[in-house]
Amino acid sequence: MTGISFLEGHRTWVLTGESSTYALRLGEDDVPAHVYWGPALPAAGVVELTAKTLPWWDGFNDPNEGLDELATDGGTRYWTPALQVRFADGTRALEWRYEDHEITAGHLRVHFTDRHYPLRITLHYRLRGDVLERWTELTADTDVEVVRADSATWALPVSEDYRLSHVTGRWAAETQLHRESVPHGETTFASRRGITSHHANPWVMVDDGTATERHGEVYGVALAWSGSWRLTTTRSSTGRLTVSGGFGQDGVVHRVGPRRPLTTPVSAGLYTDGGFGAASRAWHAYVRAHVLPHPEELRPVLYNSWEATGFDVTEAGQRALAERAAALGVELFVMDDGWFGARTGDHAGLGDWHVNRERFPEGLKPLVGAVHALGMKFGIWVEPEMVNPDSDLYRAHPDWVQHHPHRRRSELRRQLVLNFARPDVQEWAYDWLDRLVGEHGVDFLKWDMNRPFSEAGWPGEADQDRLWVEHTHAVYALLDRLRGDHPDLRIESCSGGGGRIDLGVLARSDQVWTSDNTDALDRLRIQHGYGQLYPAGAMSAWVTDNPNFVTARSVPLRFRFHVAMAGVLGLGGDIVHWPDEDLALARDLIARYRDIRPVVQHGTLYRLRPPIDDGVVAFQYVLGDRSVVFAYRQAAHFNAPERPLRLDGLDPAARYAEPEPGRTHSGAVLLAHGLPLGLPPGDFASVVVRLDRIKI
């Protein structure tokens, strides 16, 4: 039975998910201690694990170290601290005193105070199926410096070995999956950039080194935060491993005091015994059910004008693109950069969010009306958090950017970062965004952020460090306010590609721009890493022109489409100049995508052959009686014979129809033997196979 219970005689809380159990207890000194995380256990089984604190067996190794529910420094605790505080008199150690707890609607709150100082700590736990959300809340009657405030410490069962799965990358090469043994000591994955970053993503998965796609125990931890963050794994010589994570970075201090509480972002944890595939499917289900704002919707096929026009934006040019897009079956037309201010390049105009009347003599309404008349929704690109020094906004408000006195203001992409922690900047941003959306009937915002923080100062503010957290909170609040005032508005998160993808921004976005790299071959690996945690229904993927502007590689149009059709399909090429045969193929494939879209965007994912080499890559989505198989041969070597592809997620007792070429298959055969793919010969060959369960 799922839920939360308190075993009063053992001072233990048991949180039971759909197929897993988590438990914590109060130690003899009121320190909250981890008890268990893993396969479902009855309460009696948990009681067996609630042994008393173990005695020291030498003067250097605490046998209980690493088992604190929220690791703190102080006393003889030397584990990686999740919570570090410094009181006004210089005291740093925290001593717990349990006060009480509440259990309401799947939400556990455990309240503590410090034994001497007026600091209150509440540990939060919320069950979401088999995902457990944890976060921490701090309040104080006098000022307290919080040097580190992680959301949670996750203690894993002792294992013979530990293997870590995570993603790394850079611009145009995001979410590259790595699996490697966990080093002893502390290993930190982080962003100090003020954004999630292209270089790492705030999640890890841990197994014992034997898990596969289908089998084995996997533990996952993910952080719902879009600013600077860190996740630290700590592996001791005794074999214990923890994962601690939260917002912030070294050198940035949070201050808690009267009317200044601190609430950390959610750290979500998941256990599964079904391997990496089951872990991903559980994360996807969690994001759809509890994170995304409109998970029941189908994301439209979009067209974006950037690669066709760059900054050379005119009303006539946008109308021509919109007419061609509508004829192909596109449902959402998005005009990108270059429509405002003196924005004829990346050197000027950013921050001056008024329509360029030389390019749009009557404003945006005629274009928006024309797009709506073509049966499409209208979207527009914005970058609210940035400003060019060559802009009217910067000349009027140079103090609005993040900066330090007596220090240069470093430019990246010829722009600076506005300080969204300032209330006047927040109101300015809301005012023009509200008018842009409301006065023009805008249906969709592509919200971009094309550089990280630098010189993140706030002259005149007594607590400048709060900028690092409050900038992100202000962006969240602005997105929430816009969505509340314009309930039909949909938003895509972008940060120079995939620099802002995380559970925090997904709670306020309908989709994310995965990478500026639209090269179909590279996208197979980018999308593979993305899909470890995040669902295809939020993954924006475009078909663009040859050669690709990032890699200079040329790939057949069908292959480009088939790769992009594995997520939220978009087009970004200069379609006005596409030859007739490409337009005809695009029209057919968009229609095909719209048919299979519910399965792709809402179905469960099965990875059948990952992109570990340059051979065949394949995966499958299943939704109810329908299944869609995607298969890609990247490169053909030595005339190797094609192998049938074993599928997953089907009913072995059923038969499945393949409408094209009109044949049927036994579910048992597809699972045990496989599906003949019939890939065309040569490199860059691909197929998309639709299978429908035959109703008898």
Angle between helices 315-328 and 365-373 (to 10 degrees): 10
CB 665 within 8 A of CB 655: yes
Amino acid identity, position 321: L
Tokens of 557: 């149009």
Q: Which pLDDT band, with edges at 50, 70 and 90, does 63 fall under?
A: confident
What is the phi/psi pair of residue 358, to 5°? -70, -35
Q: In the chain, what percentage of residues exceed pLDDT 90?
A: 94
User: What's the confidence (pLDDT) of residue 1?
Assistant: 72
As a whole number, mean pLDDT of residues 61-87 equals 91
User: What's the confidence (pLDDT) of residue 238?
Assistant: 82
Amino acid identity, position 114: D
Identify the H or E element spanning 307: helix 306-309
Annotated binding residues, written as ranges, equal 171, 336-337, 413, 446-450, 494, 516
User: What phi-psi label fits residue 678: left (phi over 0), alpha (psi between -120 and 50 degrees) or beta?
Assistant: left
CB 694 within 8 A of CB 654: yes
What is the phi/psi pair of residue 336, to 5°? -90, -160
User: What's the confidence (pLDDT) of residue 76?
Assistant: 86
Q: Which pLDDT band, with edges at 50, 70 and 90, does 271 fall under?
A: very high
User: What's the confidence (pLDDT) of residue 62?
Assistant: 80
* Number of Cβ atoms within 10 Å of the Cβ of 169: 23
Separation CA 611–CA 539 (nearest Å): 18
Is residue 638 pLDDT above 90, yes or no? no
Tokens of 270: 């998941």
Residue 98, beta-bridge partner list: 112
User: What's the confidence (pLDDT) of residue 75?
Assistant: 85
Closest CA to 163 of 189, 149, 181: 181
Closest CA to 279 of 269, 291, 265: 269
Homologous superfamily of 302-602: Aldolase class I (3.20.20.70)
> In 159-302, which ranges are continuous DSSP H helix?
275-290
User: What's the confidence (pLDDT) of residue 564?
Assistant: 98
Question: CA-based angle 371:374:376, to the nearest 5?
Answer: 65
Is residue 548 pLDDT above 90, yes or no? yes
Annotated binding residues for substrate, written as ranges, equal 171, 336-337, 413, 446-450, 494, 516
Homologous superfamily of 609-693: Golgi alpha-mannosidase II (2.60.40.1180)
Separation CA 667–CA 675 (nearest Å): 10
Report strand pairing: 511-513 vs 539-543: parallel
Torsion angle of alpha carbons 410, 404, 494, 435, nearest 10°? -120
CB 195 within 8 A of CB 202: no
Closest CA to 85 of 244, 204, 205, 257: 257
Is residue 52 pLDDT above 80, yes or no? no
DSSP state of 637: -
Q: Cβ neighbours of residue 307 under 8 Å, at least 6 residues apart?
A: 544, 545, 549, 572, 573, 574
Looking at per-residue pLDDT, the higher value among 63 and 472 belongs to 472
User: What's the confidence (pLDDT) of residue 2?
Assistant: 84
Provide the CB-side half-sphere exposure for 145 (13 A, CA).
Answer: 14
As a whole number, mean pLDDT of residues 419-448 equals 98
Instruction: Write the CA distances from 611 to 510, 550, 617, integer angstroms.
Output: 27, 20, 5
Tokens of 189: 């994955």
pTM over 0.85: yes
Could you give the residue numbers annotated as active site? 448, 516
Is residue 55 pLDDT above 80, yes or no? no
Separation CA 500–CA 512 (nearest Å): 8
Is residue 641 pLDDT above 90, yes or no? no
Burial tier of 400 (Cβ tally within 10 Å: 0-12, 13-18, 19+): buried
In which residue are the tokens 């970004």 written? 572
User: What's the confidence (pLDDT) of residue 696?
Assistant: 74
CB 225 within 8 A of CB 217: no
User: What's the confidence (pLDDT) of residue 74?
Assistant: 84
Number of H helices, E strands in the chain: 13, 37
CB 26 within 8 A of CB 9: no
Tens of pLDDT along 218-268? 999 999 999 999 999 999 988 899 999 999 999 999 999 999 999 999 999
User: What's the confidence (pLDDT) of residue 683?
Assistant: 95
Q: Which pLDDT band, with edges at 50, 70 and 90, does 95 fall under?
A: very high
Closest CA to 86 of 127, 154, 144, 1: 144
Q: Where are the domains positioned within the chain?
A: 70-290, 302-602, 609-693
CB 224 within 8 A of CB 504: yes
Question: CA-based angle 245:249:254, to the nearest 5?
Answer: 95
User: What's the confidence (pLDDT) of residue 120?
Assistant: 98
Determine the distance from the C-alpha atom of residue 187 to the mean position of all C-alpha atoms in its chain, rounded to a whole number: 21
* Strands (DSSP E) found in 544-696: 568-571, 604-609, 616-623, 626-633, 655-658, 663-666, 685-693
Peptide bond into 183 cis (omega under 30): no
User: What's the confidence (pLDDT) of residue 221?
Assistant: 98
Mean pLDDT of the chain: 96
Peptide bond into 547 cis (omega under 30): yes
Tens of pLDDT along 341-351? 999 999 999 99
Determine the distance from the C-alpha atom of residue 219 to the mean position of all C-alpha atoms in its chain, rounded to a whole number: 18
Torsion angle of alpha carbons 650, 651, 656, 658, nearest 10°? 0
CB 688 within 8 A of CB 628: yes
CATH T-level fold of 70-290: Beta-galactosidase; Chain A, domain 5 (2.70.98)
Q: Cβ neighbours of residue 195 under 8 Å, at least 6 residues apart?
A: 226, 227, 228, 449, 452, 453, 495, 499, 500
As a whole number, mean pLDDT of residues 592-603 equals 98
CB 34 within 8 A of CB 69: yes
Identify the H or E element spanning 44: helix 43-48
270-294 CB burial, b ≥16 within 10 A, e <16: bbbebbbbbbbbbbbbbbbebbbbe
As a whole number, mean pLDDT of residues 646-651 equals 98
Closest CA to 601 of 334, 297, 360: 297
| Lowest pLDDT segment from 1-10, 199-208, 504-513 | 1-10
Separation CA 542–CA 55 (nearest Å): 60
Q: Which pLDDT band, with edges at 50, 70 and 90, does 651 fall under?
A: very high
What is the phi/psi pair of residue 31, to 5°? -70, 125
